[in-house]
Amino acid sequence: MRLTKFGHACVRVEHAGVRVVLDPGGFTEREAVEGADHVLITHQHADHYDADHLRAAGATIHTIEAVAAVIREEAPDLADRLHVVTPGDDLDVGFAVSVVGERHAVIHPDLPRFDNSGYLLRLGDQRVYHPGDALTAPGEPVDLLLAPVSAPWLKVGEAVDFVREVGAPRNLAIHDRVYSDVALQMVQGHMQRLVTEPLGLSFERLPDGADLA
The per-residue pLDDT for 37 is 98
The per-residue pLDDT for 148 is 98
User: Residue 171's domain is classified under what CATH number?
Assistant: 3.60.15.10
Residue span of the structural domain in which 199 resides: 2-211
Rounded CA gap, 104 and 9, in Å? 14
The per-residue pLDDT for 60 is 98
Of 67, 53, 47, 174, whose CA–CA distance to 114 is shortest?
67
Low-confidence ranges of the chain (pLDDT < 50): none
Tally Cβ neighbours within 10 Å of residue 110.
Answer: 5
The per-residue pLDDT for 67 is 98
Structure confidence by residue, pLDDT tens digits, 143-170: 999 999 999 999 999 999 999 999 999 9
pTM over 0.85: yes
Tally Cβ neighbours within 10 Å of residue 208.
Answer: 17
The per-residue pLDDT for 158 is 98
3-state secondary structure the chain: CEEEECCCCCEEEEECCEEEEECCCCCCCHHHHCCCCEEEECCCCCCCCCHHHHHCCCCEEEEEHHHHHHHHHHCHHHHHHEEEECCCCEEECCCEEEEECCECCCCCCCCCCCECCEEEEEECCEEEEECCCCCCCCCCCCCEEEEECCECCECHHHHHHHHHHHCCCEEEEECCCCCCHHHHHHHHHHHHHHHHHHHCCEEECCCCCEECC
